Structure 1
Amino acid sequence: MQLKRTQNTVLLYLIFTLLFSLVVWILSLNAPNAGRIAGRMFGYGIMWCPALATLVTLKLTGRKITDLAWGLGKPKYLLESYLIPLFYSLVAYLIIWSAGWGDFYNNTFVTSTAHEFGWDALPHWLFIIIFFVMNAVIGMFASISTALGEEIGWRGLLVPELAKKMGYTGVSLTSGLIWGIWHYPLLIFGNYNNGTPAWYGLICFTVSITAASFIYTWYRMKSGSLWTGVLLHASHNLFIQSFFTPITEGNIRSPWYIDEFGAVVPIITILFAIYFWSRRKELEQVAD
């Protein structure tokens, strides 16, 4: 009976995630020239589709939103969830800069961003430090507001449901692949890529996000809190998309190596995934 309920819950969640996402995909793909405002609206919209699907699924299965793992858990897991994406992003971009697949730093980006803040007189090195700190603190709140929408679904509902019938490795692979494939419409038909061939970007992104799922699932199961997933997700998006990638001066080889659609971040993330997989025996079964 429990297995059947789990299967129904997962199926309902995936169906509603697809239906709600379809609306935003169509709107996004119908606006190829979307600017800052429209892009932000579509971004928030798509990232909150999993949360909306979760609410509908819980309602149809007679459960409450309070059934999700809203407790914060141990502070050390929250801190680690914030720091780990920063660490693997830093390692990845140090490799990129050292190998010449991109350079530190993008003078045009730094100059224009400093101008937006009215800090043109600041030395670039000082502005980069201030910009990093502002991103790490203030930017984190904005990143959490979008990551929460996805994580209510992926780590709040999907991972615990899958954990009722499979182990850590199976949960990580299954949820990671579902999570990655969910991005495919915008990767294939939109401009959510580095400009490399679609097949290359898809491979890099899928490997990166599936490997990251091993980290997210480990912390979700270990901490008993969906907030670890929120912080991991928000930190990953924040540091890669809002700091390391824009701060990097690109060259002809950069699209093949930088960001989530290049080769370096997936490789580093795989190493982290292997590390957490080696610690899988520390996990206890997620409670119903």
Structure 2
Amino acid sequence: MEKMLMKSRKSIILFLILTFILSSICYFIYINFGKSASSITALLMWCPGLSAIIVRNIFYKKYKVFGFGKCNGKFIVMSILIPMLYLGVSYGLYWAINPAAFTGQVYSNSIGLMIYAFFSSILTAMGEEIGWRGFLLPKMSERFHYKYAVIICGLIWAAWHYPLMFAGLYQAGTPVYYQIPMFTVEVVLMTAILGYLRMNSGNIWPAILLHASHNYFDQMICGPLTKADKSVYYVGETGFLTVIFVLVITVFLYRKNRKKSPNL
């Protein structure tokens, strides 16, 4: 048991070191070259996944670590519906309060491009989820009580975004003193939802699809449908309305299934 915990500790430390070293290269390129290098974000999102694959080949070569395989369809449906729910309700409420903010225009009128964008979202989300929920959260759960593992992993995931946020290249539009705390709260809550799907399904696909669906609906549909200088205070990844509804879903999921799942 002690050897297993030591291996787990070493693998977590190496994963984090590799993730932030690889990510730092992407940060440097994006921050120094700006939007002309925005395509580097796809590689950035794969830094956790690549790090996890390296660590797995060092410490767990004979084991299936990441949770790929057949998955109960219930969790697949939940992974797509949950982002539609909290984004749809929060943006819908904002549009109702501020009708002038509704543009009526999505990211593209091309069905082909929208389909391509969704599958692209799956591919990039996969890079993050292999690392954060495929490897890090299960390994953290071996060392800490699950709820603490969720909080720690959520804070690490949030901090991973900070360099681009401080540089004004991600979720811009609000002061840092508002942006960072609000974003961090939402990311920790999202980690709880993603973790719920990952640990209760025993599979990584629901986490990948929820992450991809969140990015897609927020960035390709709800975001473009909204045009207002102050909208980022209310909706999206720094919006308090979205945070409230993510919190409601998080509490609902955990209270409803607390007695059924030993992981909660």
TM-score by length of 2: 0.91
Query: Equivalences for 1:9-48 in 2 at 5 Å?
Result: 9-32=11-34, 34-35=35-36, 38-40=37-39, 42-48=40-46
Read off the aligned partner of 2:13 and give its amino acid letter.
Answer: L
Q: Distance in 2 between matches of 1:31 and 1:275?
A: 43
Residue 194 of structure 2 is aligned to residue 192 of structure 1: no
Find 1:182's aligned residue among 152, 157, 160: 160
Does the aligned pair in 2 maintain the 1:218–1:280 contact within 8 Å?
A: no
Asked if 2 retains the 8 angstrom alpha-carbon contact of 1:48 and 1:150, the reply is: yes
1:78 aligns with one of 71, 76, 79 = 76
**Which is higher, the Rg of structure 1 or of structure 2?**
1
Structure 1 residues 59 and 220, CA gap change in structure 2 (3 angstroms): same
Is the Cα–Cα contact under 8 Å of residues 91 and 222 in structure 2 kept in the other structure? Answer: yes
Structure-2 residue corresponding to 1:160 = 138
Runs (4+) of structure 1 exceeding 4 A deviation are: none
Deviations 1:13-46 (A, max 9, x none): 11110111010000110112x24xx312x11111
Are 1:97 and 2:95 counterparts?
yes
Map 1:1-288 → 2, pairs under 5 A: 1=2, 2-32=4-34, 34-35=35-36, 38-40=37-39, 42-64=40-62, 66-100=64-98, 103-106=101-104, 109=105, 113-114=108-109, 117=110, 135=114, 137-250=115-228, 252-278=229-255, 279-285=257-263
TM-score (norm 1): 0.84
Q: Separation in 2 of the partners of 1:62 and 1:226?
A: 17
The 2-side partners of 1:259 and 1:39 are apart by 20
The residue matched to 2:33 in structure 1 has which SS?
Answer: coil
**Deviating more after overlay: 262-271 vs 86-95:** 262-271
Letter in 1 for 2:92: L
Measured in 2, the distance between the counterparts of 1:207 and 1:146 equals 23
What secondary structure does 1:147 align onto? helix
- Count residues with an aligned counterpart: 261
Provide the C-alpha distance between the structure 1 equivalents of 2:200 and 2:183, rounded to a whole number of angstroms.
26
Deviations 1:219-262 (A, max 9, x none): 11100001111011001100011110111132x43232132122
Given that 1:218 and 1:283 are in contact with CA atoms closer than 8 Å, whether structure 2 keeps it comes out as: no
C-alpha separation in 2, matches of 1:236 and 1:200: 22
Distance 1:230 1:62, change over 3 A: closer
RMSD: 2.2
Q: What does the per-residue CA deviation read over 1:133-191, in whole Å, with 9 as the maximum and x for residues that have no partner? A: 974x5432111010000000011101110121333312221111111111000111232
**Structure 1 residues 162, 280: closer, same or farther in 2, change over 3 A?**
farther
The CA distance in 1 between the partners of 2:169 and 2:66, in whole Å, is: 34
Percentage of identical aligned residues: 32
Task: Tell me the amino acid that sits aligned with residue 247 of structure 2.
Answer: I
CA shift for structure 1 position 284: 3.6
Where 1:240 maps in the other structure, the secondary structure is helix
Gaps of 5+ in 2: none
- Preserved CA contact (<8 Å) 2:65 2:135: no
Please give the alpha-carbon distance, in whole angstroms, between the structure 2 residues aligned to 1:280 and 1:4.
30
Cα deviation for residue 48 of structure 1 reads: 0.2
Shift of 1:285: 4.7
Q: Distance in 2 between matches of 1:101 and 1:17?
A: 42
Q: 1:101 to 1:164 in 2, by over 3 A?
A: farther
Q: Secondary structure at the match of 2:223?
A: helix
